[in-house]
A and B are shown apart, each in its own frame.
Chain A
Amino acid sequence: MSERTDLNPGPGEAAAAMEPAPVVDSAKEAPATRTRRSPALVTGCVLLGLIVATALVSLFWVPYAPEDTTGGRLTAPGLPHLLGTDKLGRDLLTQLMTGARIALEAGLGAIAIGAVLGICFGLAAGFATRWLDDTLSTLLDVLIAFPTLLLAMLMVAARSASLSSAILAIGLAMTAVVARLTRILVKRVLAQDYITAARTSGTSWPRVITGHVLPNIWPTLVVNLAQQFGLAVMAEASLSFLGLGAPPPNASWGRMLQEAQATVFTAPTGVIAPGVLLVMLVVGVNLIADGLRDTLDPTRRRTR
């Protein structure tokens, strides 16, 4: 998992960058509160929506049973198997559909762990006194330096190769990244004049935190979590590819890629289909992240 703490300029910086704009003009017009719908956001939602819909449908209906191997091996796309079958004779479309569910479960699970733990640690470090902050930061640095793959292998060794082990490993690795980002954001916001200004008028700490600190770190954090979601899906596919994810017969896109790589020239659909879906999901989530960034931060909103 790569670290992406400084990709998004925070609201403060963005505001500073906006400053030289001809303010006189905007002062005359009514401030546009309606925003143009971001094309990135729409495209991202469509891509993600397709995957989510597929996953939901797979809960109630799939063309064949996942373990059904009666269809003949490595058949080409057509009828009765729309996307053909794999080397064991299982229906590819069925596997892709259940794989969508696993990909989303992995992403959501990892994000849930990473966001909850990461934001808590980050807030604690951000507000903490010097030595507590130093201790937490060092801890986070160690966790970040620890390879996710190694963490996953340890997790699998300690528990078993399962989806939950993979989610736990990815979630823990994500915790470090999210916590570090949260800490930096909190520190940066706390150093801003408007925090001091709020305090000079007698605003209490709890009110400063809920009224000014959290709303100001939220946009950057949400955008980053959306990006992390994409990375988590990718990480789960990699772990499954290496056999550290959900074991068979669970159909994970990563494992489908691995199983199909031996027959990539005779039956390319087996590699192309899960690959395309994986890209769709990750690109979709990243587009949503971009769109959210423009929508959540009023200083970045393009006005009509």
Chain B
Amino acid sequence: MNARDPRALDVNGLTIRTDQGRTLVSDLSFSINAGSRLGLVGESGSGKSLTALAVLGLLPPGMNASGSIVLREAPDAPGTEVIGATEQRLTGLRGRAATVVFQEPLTALDPLMRIGGQLAEPLRRWRGLRGPALRRAVAEALEQVRLPDPDRITRAYPHEISGGQRQRVALAMALACDPALLIADEPTTALDVTVQSEVLALLDGLVAQRGMALLFVSHDLAVVSSVTDHVLVLKDGAAVESGSVDDIVRRPQHPYTRDLVDSARHLESALERIVR
């Protein structure tokens, strides 16, 4: 496995079942090359968030994954099979190989820990920083996601800053791990529309700047197509269609995809009618 392999994530025949035998995701296959981007689109309950969690071996108790998920920290590094890996192996993999930005930043941040403390955690773990160097790195990480007044944010609790600021902090925490693959699970859904585009642009820029691979999970085809180049459409836990953004939006093949595209268009045309 030492040959150079460009795939940061390679999912093959992923199937997720509950202990009761219900199939939530069936036979899903996709791969993401280092530095490229894939959008995972589907309605709620289509299994897209579960897929994201399964990639890190973090399925909730009572669910089992089968198939194959291979994560690769660097193109020339040997890949690691996530399914069936020991907890210890996975802990070493999470963060460095891939990490997640969640939908709701308020619940994804520890309510009783100051922002500085939470941001310091991955920095301490992944860069071995301590003391003043750690404090400097925290401030830098906050500046990188363009948060004003890093001093104040460092000392604040999550409930003391705004939703957009919280999501920037969550993004900073994910980037602090310097992962090969960033999984963004509906990262802008909980935000105001105006803040949404700012955070999206920031995410877009930082991922491009660091050459990370991106798995962008969302129900919103418009959002996905603005940041990714390839799209995989999920329905009821199975892939219905995949291809480049251009193809999917212009020439949707599957009726479900056509519905998604049409509903996005519908909104747009309604808006245009009002503007005229």
Contacts and interface: CB of A to CB of B under 8 A. Distances in A.
Interface in A194-240: 194, 196-205, 211-212, 215-216, 219
Nearest to B174: A201
B156 A11 contact: no
Contacts of A202: 91-96, 99, 122, 125-126, 177
A100 B163 CA distance: 51
Given A12-B111, A211-B121, A298-B112, A201 B159 contact: no
Q: Interface of chain A, helix or strand or loop or mixed?
A: helix
A18 B95 CA distance: 30
Contacts of B162: 23-24, 27
A167 B100 CA distance: 50
Contacts of B106: 15-16, 19
B56 A33 contact: no
A8 interface: no
A194 B108 contact: yes
A193 interface: yes
A288 B268 CA distance: 58
A200 B58 CA distance: 8
B161 A27 contact: yes
B165 interface: yes
A12 B107 CA distance: 8
Contacts of B121: 198, 201, 203, 211
Interface string A175-201: 000000000000000001110111111
Interface string A156-167: 000000000000
B113 A212 contact: yes
Nearest to A219: B112
Interface residues of B: mostly helix, strand, loop or mixed?
helix
B82 interface: no
A43 interface: no
Nearest to B170: A197
A207 to B, nearest CB: 8
A51 to B, nearest CB: 32
Interface residues of B, number: 42
Nearest to B111: A15
Contacts of B110: 194, 198, 212, 215-216
B97 to A, nearest CB: 9
Given A201-B95, A202-B95, A202-B177, A19 B58 contact: no
A254 B154 CA distance: 53
B100 A197 contact: yes
A193 B104 contact: yes
B87 interface: yes
Interface in B142-195: 152, 155-163, 165, 170, 173-174, 176-177
Contacts of A219: 112
B112 to A, nearest CB: 5
A15 B111 CA distance: 7
B152 A30 contact: yes
B161 A216 contact: no
Contacts of A203: 91, 95, 121-122, 125
Contacts of A33: 155
B96 to A, nearest CB: 7
A215 B121 CA distance: 15
A201 B104 contact: no
A299 interface: yes
Contacts of A200: 56, 58, 94-95, 99-100, 174
A297 B112 CA distance: 7
B108 A201 contact: no
A145 B249 CA distance: 62
B109 interface: yes
Interface of A: 11-12, 14-16, 18-19, 23-24, 26-27, 30-31, 33, 192-194, 196-205, 211-212, 215-216, 219, 297-299
15 contacts: A15-B158, A192-B107, A193-B107, A194-B107, A198-B121, A199-B56, A200-B99, A200-B100, A201-B122, A201-B176, A203-B125, A205-B87, A212-B113, A215-B110, A216-B111
